[in-house]
């Protein structure tokens, strides 16, 4: 069955309005997710005349400064995000997704880290416990054997593997399957 030009126009307008409404809803959700003090600061942009806008900005900045000082709002730059991601590498912490908002500036999701061995010892079950200089402690979970024992100063590379597991190469040797314990 053919659709008349008038019906096509009506369907097109209806679809266009639905898209606009959806876009407005998404935008509102995105900005309403901001802390109240930040939202009020952003709302000052629409104030006219200039004196009212300036007064709005002054009040909003004072409020923002107060909530930052009290710790109710925390400001985090991309450098700190990257540092937290590196410190948490190997742990499954779903709350870290709040650091993903900055895109690649925040470093994206880490796939591998490099470090230096601070301490390594072999447990009674012949599995390694390796502490890196940054304090991360990794425990071997497979039965792989190393040709050369890791020692203080050895170079370690830890990378993500399948199903949330990790591999560690020490001084370029075969990889050990490891898990982060601290």
Mean pLDDT by 10 residues, the chain (182 residues): 47 36 39 78 90 92 91 84 79 58 58 93 94 94 93 94 90 93 89
What does the pLDDT read at residue 17? Answer: 32
Q: Are 167 and 178 in contact (CB under 8 A)?
A: yes
| pLDDT recorded at residue 98 | 55
Asked if residue 49 has a cis previous peptide bond (ω within 30° of 0), the answer is: yes
Residue 147's DSSP bridge partners are none
89 vs 48: CA distance, rounded Å: 48
CB atoms within 10 A of CB 99: 19
Tell me what pLDDT residue 143 has: 93
Q: How far apart are CA 171 and CA 33, in angstroms?
A: 46
pLDDT recorded at residue 79: 84
Which pLDDT belongs to residue 162?
Answer: 86
């Amino acid at each position: 069955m053919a659709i008349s030009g008038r019906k096509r126009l009506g369907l097109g307008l209806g679809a266009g309005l639905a898209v606009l409404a959806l876009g407005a809803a998404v935008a509102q959700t995105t900005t309403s997710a901001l802390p109240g003090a930040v939202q009020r600061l952003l709302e000052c942009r629409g104030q006219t005349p200039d004196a009212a806008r300036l007064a709005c900005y002054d009040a909003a900045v004072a409020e923002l400064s107060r909530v930052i000082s009290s710790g109710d709002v925390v400001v985090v730059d991309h450098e700190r995000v990257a540092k937290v991601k590196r410190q948490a590498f190997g742990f499954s912490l779903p709350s870290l997704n709040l650091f993903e908002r900055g895109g690649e500036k925040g470093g994206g999701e880490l796939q591998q880290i490099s470090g230096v061995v601070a301490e390594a010892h072999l447990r009674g079950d012949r599995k390694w416990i390796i502490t890196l200089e940054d304090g991360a402690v990794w425990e071997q979970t497979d039965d792989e054997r190393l040709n050369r024992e890791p020692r203080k100063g050895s170079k370690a590379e830890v990378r993500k593997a399948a199903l949330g597991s990790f591999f560690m190469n020490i001084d370029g040797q075969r990889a050990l399957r490891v898990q982060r314990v601290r």
